[in-house]
Chains A and B, each alone.
Chain A
């Protein structure tokens, strides 16, 4: 297979399909093009998998092209900044432009060393597969979702044509980002994703969404500036590629690139743009959180980390990530807004990836890649479920989600699956958290933060799980009506979660371990670092499958044997409203009790959000402060301050 075709198909393919879809006015035609584009992206991803690893340099003309692209994107950001009248963004973008131009002019050249421009190695392959398999499914979901969304979208909303164009272009840019080895290409794609997210977040055009889009652009432009400064440093020190940077062990640009990655991955203190991004239509959130955007940051850290093993930079990076993990998990406890819980959970998981990259161990590295994969699939699924639920019940508050098991059993079961996969065995998140904890044994503070963060994340998932499956007894359930696109994409992702879940140990043993060994091959790896974790050789994984499996079957049998006569109302000190009322309205009346004057009051207890003892608005500035100090420490450690 020709390398050029694969790279073009992965990067330019989705963008071109997006252009075609964006140009077609009739909705049916546009949908057809979007479907074709999605399938094209999936096929391109599979082709890349089949083609295997390669390095690819198109020719001398690529440098000019990438420089032009970088300048164009920075100019576009400048234009946007002028249009939305935001001085900070304008200054940042102008500075970025100056640095980029300066780098191009005074760059010392690579000294004759030719590094490949695009690399598809194991890590890029994982990312390409995540982007081009999960991403298109979300785009497919968006077709069904946006039809509904159009009914109650504000009049200011940008058209669906632009929406689908940007969604597809986003996938292409992400593919380019993970393939690029040249820093110039990396920076151009980096800025394109920033722009795409800006337009998608501001899609609805309301005041809130515009403000949040602007904040996202500001923070990500700051990250872009850090990236440009990093590549400026590289160019003036004789390399313009990631591989060159790794080989030369340039610590200072590495720190700048990590800073850029932290902003992109919405790590504390840069988390606010991702939280604000939830004003966008749900498929956008799903795309930003699972397959694209935030994964770019963690990808960059993962790409560079093995080369900087043992430096102080990595220690601080691990601390920053672990701190984000614990802090975001903690903040998720006090949220009752489902999308916000998901957003904090994303931030915390990305923090864990960064922490794992910083922990000086191949085991942790494998854990990080594993989290990246599982998080993409599960989180994409969960966002799509929340979107579906929100369109049905008109609320995204977790407390309103009681009883949806009966109203929309399909979505609820799929959402349950997604949540369980973030929490329980045999799904991969647990396995990777376990690996992370065992790998961090030599860094007590990091380990403590990971342990605390895991405990918090159990807490907020358990609360949500408990609420979502609160249900009365119903003899039979009927599937809810759902747009075929939405049902199909939910189904595909659910199957993906299941397959990946049951294959987690195989994935670790047969794919991730060889891959990580390959990445770490030039650095001496102690045998003990792998042998802490004995999951692949001695781990008795089967009790986790067999015993719960057997009991699951028993539970299903015995729950099917339940007869109507065995069903009772909850204990409410005998003051229940009579049984005969509940067949009329199975949800409200039967759980009411009589108060004085025979009034009916619903028996209700909310989940615990600890709002009396935790004030989010007061805590967040302190957390930001600590994280900011950690980042300062990162630059202090490399003697830049």
Chain B
């Protein structure tokens, strides 16, 4: 095995993560279109969208929102860096949460009612999915005896075998994270008329581009974590992640958007119980 310097890994991760994420988003749009009987946009449409956004004029309401757009991206980058370095998973989770909090604050610091309502819904989304994320980390700790992400690879057997229910719960939590129906209450990537795009409504041009870029990182992170549930074989891991991602897209196309309260009730009942029962099952 070649000893790759750490800085190179980080740079590669920061460069390739959004490229992979955008590619996955392209697959998703194509797949969704096919589910709906349409031809759909080209596979590289997300790249065009992103490049377009960076070429447009930036309209703003105040200066604070710019700050939070940048910090949203920055903390997501921190998440990616910590994840590829195999750092403490709880810390990864924190960084990831801060990225979302920055987006929420960006939505709240403007005097736009739509944006504020979107922000509050995003907070409720966090309330809904964060416990599952933390339970997942606890499950991984019980499984391997440490919080370090890199120890997942030293385990010698796939995590899916011991944490199957947590994987299911994580897929559901990932759907909230990636704004998929029925959980896309704060903002959504299709049928944009709901809340007129909610939390990102007051961003435009390059600043919206930054948020889209962050979303690409996010897709990569969710996809990567799903892949890490099968570490012994690269193709099996990829297959698992694709299956999870495909399920998200399928459910996204099958269901309608539901309310925030329903989402919190649902997440704190079924997926949370799934995750908890998995923890009880493996608890020593």
Cross-chain contact B60 with A567 (CB below 8 angstroms): yes
CB contacts (< 8 Å) of A462 on chain B: these are 101, 104-105, 108, 123
Taking A434-B94, A463-B123, A605-B116 as contacts, is the C-beta distance between A547 and B74 under 8 angstroms? yes
Interface string of A458-474 (1 = CB under 8 A from B): 11001101110111111
- Residue contact A570 to B123, C-beta cutoff 8 Å: no
Main secondary structure, interface of B, reads: helix
Q: Decide if A430 touches B74 in the complex (CB within 8 Å).
A: no
- Closest partner residue, chain A, to B70 (CB atom): A555
Q: Is the CB of A467 within 8 A of B108?
A: yes
Of residues 50 to 82 in B, which have CB atoms within 8 Å of A's CB atoms? 57-64, 66-67, 69-71, 73-75, 77-78, 81-82
Interface size, chain B (Cβ < 8 Å): 62
Interface residues of A, dominant DSSP: helix
In the assembled complex, which residues on chain B have CB atoms less than 8 Å from the CB atom of A465? 105, 108
Q: Which residues of A contact B87 (CB under 8 A)?
A: 538-540
Asked whether, in the complex, the Cβ of B105 is within 8 Å of the Cβ of A447, the reply is no
A471's contact among B64, B114, B126, B283, by CB below 8 Å, is which? B64
Q: Does B113 contact A (CB under 8 A)?
A: yes
Which one of B30-38, B130-138, B224-232 is at the interface?
B130-138
One of A60-68, A181-189, A436-444 contacting the partner: A436-444
B66 near A559 with CB under 8 A, answer yes
Per a CB cutoff under 8 Å, which of A551, A562, A570, A605 touches B63?
Answer: A562
**Nearest-CB distance from A411 to chain B (Å)?**
16
Looking at B141-149, B159-167, B173-181, B238-246, the stretch in contact with chain A turns out to be B141-149
Bound CA span A520–B188, Å:
52
Task: Determine whether the beta carbon of A451 is less than 8 Å from that of B98.
Answer: no
In the bound complex, residues from chain B placing their C-beta under 8 Å from that of A567 are: 59-62
- The answer to the question of B96 belonging to the interface, with a C-beta cut-off of 8 Å to chain A, is no
- A450's nearest neighbour on chain B, judged by CB, is B134
Q: A544–B78 contact, CB under 8 A?
A: yes
Cβ-closest chain A residue relative to B14: A547
B184 within 8 A of A: no
- A531-551 interface code vs B (CB 8 A; 1 in, 0 out): 010110011100110011011
CB distance A458 to B115 under 8 Å?
no
Q: How far is the CB of B234 from chain A (nearest CB, A)?
A: 25
Contact of A425 with B98 at beta-carbon distance under 8 Å, contacts A434-B91, A451-B134, A543-B82 already known: yes
A334 interface residue, CB < 8 Å from B?
A: no
CB < 8 Å neighbour of A441 from B101, B126, B141: B141
A447-B202 contact in complex given A470-B109, A540-B85, A547-B77, C-beta closer than 8 Å:
no
A180 → B minimal CB distance (Å): 38
* Closest residue on chain A to residue B58 by CB atoms: A566
Question: B60 contacts which chain A residues (CB < 8 A)?
Answer: 473, 562, 566-568
Complex alpha-carbon distance, A551 and B102, angstroms? 13
Assess whether B111 is in contact with A402, with CB atoms less than 8 Å apart: yes
Task: Tell me how far the C-beta of A331 lies from the nearest C-beta in chain B, rounded to whole angstroms.
Answer: 15
17 contacting pairs across A/B (C-beta < 8 A): A425-B95, A438-B147, A444-B279, A462-B105, A466-B116, A467-B108, A470-B110, A548-B78, A551-B71, A551-B74, A551-B77, A552-B70, A552-B71, A552-B74, A562-B60, A566-B59, A570-B111
Given A434-B91, A437-B134, A447-B138, 9 more pairs with CB closer than 8 A: A402-B111, A455-B130, A463-B120, A540-B85, A555-B69, A562-B63, A566-B58, A567-B62, A604-B113
